[in-house]
Amino acid sequence: MKKFAVIIFALMMIICAEASAKNVTVTGTGITPSEAENDALRAAIEDAVGLFVDSETLVQNSMLINDQIYMNSRGFVNDYVVLSREQIPNGWRVTINATVDDQPDSKLMNELTRLGLINVRLRNPKIAVYVPEQHLNYSVNGSGGETAIVKILLNAGFSNVVEVGTGLNYQSPMAMNVAQMKQAAEKFGADIMIVGESFSEGVGDLGNYLPGNQVTNMQACRARVEAKMFIVKTGQVIAADGKYGSAYDNSQAIAAKKALTSAGEQMGNYFVEQITGMYTSRQAVEVIVYGADFSKINLVQNALGKVYRAKNVNLSSYEGGRAVFNVGYDGSPQTLFNELQALTPAELVLQALAYNTLTIYVK
CB neighbourhood size of 93 (10 A) = 17
Per-position DSSP letters for 215-258, written without gaps between them: ----EEEEEEEEEEEEETTTTEEEEEEEEEEEEEESSHHHHHHH
Query: The domain that contains 41 carries what CATH number?
Result: 3.30.1660.40
Indicate the burial class of 200 (C-beta count within 10 angstroms; 0-12, 13-18, 19 or more): buried
Residue 14 in any domain: the answer is no
Q: What is the pLDDT of residues 88-110, one digit of tens each?
A: 998 999 999 999 877 656 788 77
Place 233 in a pLDDT band, splitting at 50, 70 and 90.
confident
Q: Same domain for 105 and 42?
A: yes
Tell me which DSSP letter residue 206 carries: G
Q: Which of 87, 118, 149 is where one domain is finished?
A: 118
Q: Same domain for 82 and 134?
A: no
Judged by phi (left if over 0) then psi (alpha if -120 to 50, else beta), residue 142 lies in left
Q: Same domain for 131 and 275?
A: yes
Question: In the predicted model, what is the mean pLDDT of residues 274-283?
Answer: 59
Q: Which of 279, 294, 322 is where one domain is finished?
A: 279
Query: The domain that contains 145 carries what CATH number?
Result: 3.40.50.10070
The domain containing residue 55 runs over which residues?
22-118
| Number of independent structural domains in the chain | 3
Q: Which of 279, 305, 321 is where one domain is finished?
A: 279
Q: Same domain for 174 and 293?
A: no
CA dist., res. 98 & res. 94, Å (int): 12
Q: Same domain for 192 and 312?
A: no
CA dist., res. 326 & res. 126, Å (int): 25
Q: Same domain for 206 and 232?
A: yes
**What is the value of pTM for the model shown?**
0.52
Q: Same domain for 105 and 155?
A: no
Residue 130 in any domain: the answer is yes
Residue 335 in any domain: the answer is yes
Are the CB atoms for 146 and 224 separated by under 8 Å? no
pLDDT at 81 over 50: yes
Tell me which DSSP letter residue 162 carries: E
> For residue 10, what pLDDT is reported?
29
Residue 107 in any domain: the answer is yes
Q: Same domain for 295 and 323?
A: yes
Q: Same domain for 179 and 36?
A: no
Q: What is the pLDDT of residues 200-225, one digit of tens each?
A: 998 888 877 777 677 788 888 999 99
